Amino acid sequence: MSTTRTSPPSSTKRLLHELQSYTSDPNPALLHLAPVSESQILHWDAIMKGVDGSAYEGGLWRLDIRIPDNYPMAPPTIKFLTPICHPNVHLQTGEICLDLLKQAWTPAYTITQTLTSIHQLLTYPEPDSPLNVDIAALLRAGDLVGAESLVSSPSTPFHHAHSPFCGFANPLSLAEHLPFTVRPSLLCFHGLASVDRARLTPLPCRYNL
C-alpha cells in the first residue's frame, strides 16, 4: 500500500499491522474498517453498528478517522459523519467527547480498540461531559424514556422508514443514498438523512445485507 501523504515508516508499519489484524479478526462492533484508499494510510473510515437492546439498535453510522504522522504516540482524530443523537457526540460536527481520544491515550491502544470504546459509549454514555446538552439533561434526570424518544423524534433525523423492497427498517439518519460512500457488499440504502419524508427515494435493493 502506497501513501500520498508522507508518514514515518514506523507509523505505516504499525497501521498496516493493525489493518492485517482487523482483517483476520474483525471487530464485531463494525461492518467496515479500512483506509479510504490504498494511497491514504493516514485516513481511514469505519461503519459502526448500533448496540443491540439500546435506542441505537439496528443503526449504522459512518465515522471518519484521521491519523497523525506520529501515531501511535498521539491519538487519532475520530468523528461521526452520520449524525447521531448522543450526549457525548456533537450533533452537527460529529465530535466525540472521550478521554481515550485525548489525555487517556497511550501507544498501546489500536484503532479498532478505540472504536470499541466509542461503541461502548453508546451503551454507557457520560451525561456529565456532554456535547449534546438536550439528551444529556434527560439522562441526568433519569428520564430514559425521554432520552430514547429524542433519539427517534420526528424533530430530529432519527425516525424510521420501511423499505417496500426488502422489508429492512432503518433510521433515516443512518445512511444517505450515496452507494459510493461504502463498499458495495455492506448494505443497501433506502433513506435520506432528512426529516422530510417527501425526499425519500425507495429504490430497489442494490446490495445484500
pLDDT single digits (tens) 12-34: 999 999 999 999 999 999 999 99
pLDDT, tens digit (0-9, with 9 covering 90-100), for 147-176? 565 565 433 443 333 344 334 444 333 333
- Its CATH class, for the domain covering 9-123, is alpha beta
What is the C-alpha to C-alpha distance for residues 49 and 56, in angstroms, rounded to an integer? 8
| Residue range(s) in the chain whose domain bears CATH number 3.10.110.10 | 9-123
Centre a 10 Å sphere on the Cβ of residue 101 and count the other Cβ atoms it contains. Answer: 19
Phi, psi at 136, each rounded to 5°: -65, -40
**Per-residue pLDDT band at 179 (split at 50, 70, 90):** very low
Catalytic residue check, 188: no
Task: Choose, from 85, 97, 166, 205, the residue flagged as catalytic.
Answer: 97
The Cα–Cα gap between 109 and 115 comes to 10
pTM above 0.75, yes or no: no
Q: How far apart are CA 5 and CA 200, in angstroms?
A: 38
- Minimal CA–CA distance to 95: which of 74, 71, 69, 121? 121
